[in-house]
Amino acid sequence: MNKLVKTKDLIDCQIPFLKPYFDEATYPWEILPKIKEIVAKTLQNGLEGYKEIAPGVLVGENVKMAKTVTIEPPAIIMSNTELRPGAFLRGNVIVGPRSVVGNSSELKNCILLEHVQVPHYNYVGDSILGNNSHMGAGSICSNLKSDGKNIVIHGDEEYETGLRKIGAILGDKADIGCGSVLNPGTVVGKNTQMYPLTMARGVYPCNTIVKSTREYVEKK
């Protein structure tokens, strides 16, 4: 099974202000250093129907936000999204439409596309989560190697990213089991499901079921 890592093979971004960046990026992690620029440019230009509820925080229509949510700017919260009690957005965050950021979940320098769920005790840093992806309770994206070295994506070949921090890249409809840890530079393919308590590392093909770090089978 091919371990696909190109943007076009993992994520179909149709959000207008984000689409050009995804179309131009050969690999999705190339977008991570641009998130700050994307958010700043969007805040400057504005989005129709959106309001800046605080300096550097742009919010769309029908957003449900608990009183105990903390948002450090800059951030963009798109329409019909829910931010539950204790959610913490630490800056340079884009939360796509119809997404859920749950209780005690923390986001930092990341993009969640459409209908993404990080609903319970999740950490998502320096990551991109594709459309309709889901992280089970307590699953996290570890974004920094213990030795502090630049991250290499280990797929069918080695991809030198030049980046010190990368969490995870989830393809569209990827589903991460509860309590899983996605080690720095983990890529999960489209329509792939991961068992709970998996210690994930490297690249997992599309349309598979991941049973453990190195064991995965094709979906039937």
pLDDT at 64: 97
**pTM for this predicted structure:** 0.96
Flag whether 171 is in a domain: yes
Return the sign of the alpha-carbon dihedral for residues 10, 13, 18, 21.
Answer: positive
pLDDT at 2: 80
Cα 163 to the chain's mean position, in Å? Answer: 16
Flag whether 115 is in a domain: yes
Flag whether 44 is in a domain: yes
pLDDT at 104: 93
Query: The domain spanning residue 147 has which CATH number?
Result: 2.160.10.10
pLDDT tens string for the chain (220 positions)?
789 999 999 999 999 999 999 999 999 999 999 999 999 999 999 999 999 999 999 999 999 999 999 999 999 999 999 999 999 999 999 999 999 999 999 999 999 999 999 999 999 999 999 999 999 999 999 999 999 999 999 999 999 999 999 999 999 999 999 999 999 999 999 999 999 999 999 999 999 999 999 999 999 8
Flag whether 1 is in a domain: no
pLDDT at 1: 73
Q: 185: phi > 0 → left, psi -120 to 50 → alpha, else beta; which?
A: left
Structural tokens at position 72: 């450090």
Which structural domain, as residue segments, surrounds residue 82?
A: 7-218
3-state secondary structure 71-97: ECCCEEECCCCEECCCCEECCCEEECC
Flag whether 144 is in a domain: yes
Flag whether 2 is in a domain: no
pLDDT at 220: 81
Q: Domain count of the chain? A: 1
